[in-house]
Amino acid sequence: MLIPVLLAGGIGTRLWPLSRESRPKQFLALNGEASLLEQTLARAARLGEVGPALLIGNVEHRFVMAEQLRASGMRGQVILEPSRRDTAPAVAAAAFQALAEHGDNAELLVMPTDHAVADARAFEQAVERARARAARGGMTLFGVRPARPEPGFGYIQAGETLDEGVRRVQTFVEKPDRARAAVYLENPDYYWNSGMFLFRARDYLASLARQAPAIHAAAKAAHAGAHIDIDFLRLDEGEFEQSPSKSIDYAVMEGADDAVMVELDAGWSDLGSWSAVADAAGADAQGNSVQGDVVIEDSQGCILHSQDRLLATIGLRDTIVIETADAVLVADRGSEQRIRELVTRLTDSGREEATAYRKAYRPWGSYEQIAVGERFQVKHIRVTPGGRLSLQKHHHRAEHWIVVHGTAKITCDGRESLLTENESTFIPLGAVHRLENPGKVDLDLIEVQSGSYLGEDDIVRFDDVYGRSDSEPQDGNTVPGTAAAADSTLHATKE
């Protein structure tokens, strides 16, 4: 049984300001209408007889993972990592789960969820070749013929040809400098390491136990101590955090004497930089890659992305301009590998824009801050059909809700009422209240908060259908420890 194992724990800082820790690139639609995660799920579903997917990622993103899995129509289980420990322990936890569900013949197709593949049929053929090799035992990975000198990728040096499109792995090469990458481009034995793998679960765990026993032991204990939380499988936090942080490449592949590479010629891209996104999106006759509301005058070789406003350029050459609601990046294309350094600097200086959006996603919908002052805050709240916020109260603020689209069901101190467009209600300080969407279309309303304290921790939750507690008010959209979490006035919660 082939089990897709989808890795959704990455951050994607090189695509800042669009990709941020609160909503990384795998959950964004960068090259079409579907998110990269949804595209990965669709690729897995087209492989035919596959088992339920195992989608593993950070606890902070659990609801967006669950929603995109549900929207894909594919069966699957969301496994929650208590902390980031790289890919080796994550895949080990998935391997233990696959063995528990499907037995010793479970095969794992490990795929990052932030990559793009243009040719679905070529991908399927490569998977078929990899399955034939995995059936004999050993570790199989997918290599991509380089299209350019790329210092941001790891490389594989391929050796002996074993079958059509299948070669033995001779060595792994760390990310080279540009000059060495240019040499690799001319050598037919060198391939990009795609980060995708296929092997039997028991073979991976056996190899991991030999080469990285501490990771194997921690993942085994974390899986043994896991528990179901709503529909999520939560790995044991204490046990999982005992694992060293290592990638599959370092922990297993580099020391494996039975590693083979299947050539993947399917229009693969890791979309790990703005240039990679531009290549996937295409360019105009002047070499400009444009997305959103953009007007260009005498500009060439630029990457221009507008999310919220009109972006107009005059006389630009080889420049990246990325516009979002709260941040704009302007960079020379030759400097894009330094975006990660910039994000680190912003984070270290306490800038919440480095990691979090003004718009926050919840299992019931989303909210976005419109304005904030000393004793007030205004938000746009969207509740999806059937969504319901927790039953709660606040000690320091009152709220005024105005419905602008859809129908709202309001509970306030035990009384229920329905509000439709252009109607409003007042929630007094201390009132026990809840907001729901009983309709078939999105509910949009404007909320005005007023009071002496508008912090995110001013919430007492009495009941929540999503199983959240008072200790996790931001619920997956602001990362604890960042400036966004610390600045409770600017990002007051709405649950």
* Cα 384 to Cα 386: distance, rounded to the nearest angstrom: 6
Contact 308, 325 (CB under 8 A): yes
Residue in the structure block whose two tokens are 């679960």: 201
* Cα 443 to Cα 430: distance, rounded to the nearest angstrom: 24
Contact 95, 110 (CB under 8 A): no
β-pair partners for 260: 140, 168
* Cα 244 to Cα 227: distance, rounded to the nearest angstrom: 22
* Cα 441 to Cα 403: distance, rounded to the nearest angstrom: 13
The alpha carbon of 43 is separated from its chain's Cα centroid by a whole number of angstroms, namely 17
- The residue-averaged pLDDT of 177-193 equals 94
Amino acid 137: pLDDT: 86
Alpha helix segments (H runs only) across 274-372:
274-281, 339-348
* Cα 280 to Cα 289: distance, rounded to the nearest angstrom: 9
Amino acid 455: pLDDT: 82
The percent of residues in the chain predicted with pLDDT above 70, rounded, is: 94
Query: What domains can be seen in the chain, in order of their start residue?
Result: 2-269 (3.90.550.10), 274-348 (no CATH), 357-486 (2.60.120.10)
Amino acid 469: pLDDT: 60
Amino acid 484: pLDDT: 29
Amino acid 362: pLDDT: 85
* Cα 27 to Cα 69: distance, rounded to the nearest angstrom: 11
pLDDT tier at 478, thresholds 50, 70, 90: very low
Contact 386, 366 (CB under 8 A): no
Q: Per the structure block, which two tokens stand in for 266?
A: 């399917």
475 versus 310: the higher-pLDDT residue is 310
**Residue-wise pLDDT tens digits, 390-419:** 999 999 999 999 999 999 999 999 999 999
Indicate the SS3 state at residue 272: coil
Q: Which helix (H) or strand (E) holds 200?
A: strand 190-200
Tell me the torsion sign for CA atoms 86, 88, 92, 95: positive
**Cis before residue 17, ω within 30 degrees of 0?**
yes
* Cα 50 to Cα 362: distance, rounded to the nearest angstrom: 30
* Cα 179 to Cα 161: distance, rounded to the nearest angstrom: 27
Q: DSSP 3-state helix, strand, coil percentages of the chain (rounded to 5)?
A: 25, 35, 40
Residue in the structure block whose two tokens are 């301009």: 321
Q: Per the structure block, which two tokens stand in for 143?
A: 């290599």
Query: Does position 424 have pLDDT exceeding 70, yes or no?
Result: yes
pLDDT tier at 57, thresholds 50, 70, 90: very high
The alpha carbon of 231 is separated from its chain's Cα centroid by a whole number of angstroms, namely 19
Amino acid 126: pLDDT: 96
Indicate the SS3 state at residue 21: coil
Kindly report the backbone phi and psi dihedral angles of residue 124, in degrees, each rounded to the nearest multiple of 5, phi listed first.
-60, -40
Query: Does position 339 have pLDDT exceeding 50, yes or no?
Result: yes
Calculate ∠ Cα 116-118-123, nearest 5°: 90
* Cα 214 to Cα 265: distance, rounded to the nearest angstrom: 36
Residue in the structure block whose two tokens are 């209240």: 433
**Residue-wise pLDDT tens digits, 249-308:** 999 998 988 899 999 999 999 998 999 999 988 899 999 999 999 999 999 999 999 999
Give how far Cα 350 sits from Cα of 69, 365, 370, Å: 33, 27, 21
Alpha helix segments (H runs only) across 187-230:
201-211, 213-224
**Residue-wise pLDDT tens digits, 13-55:** 999 999 999 999 999 999 888 999 999 999 999 998 899 999 9
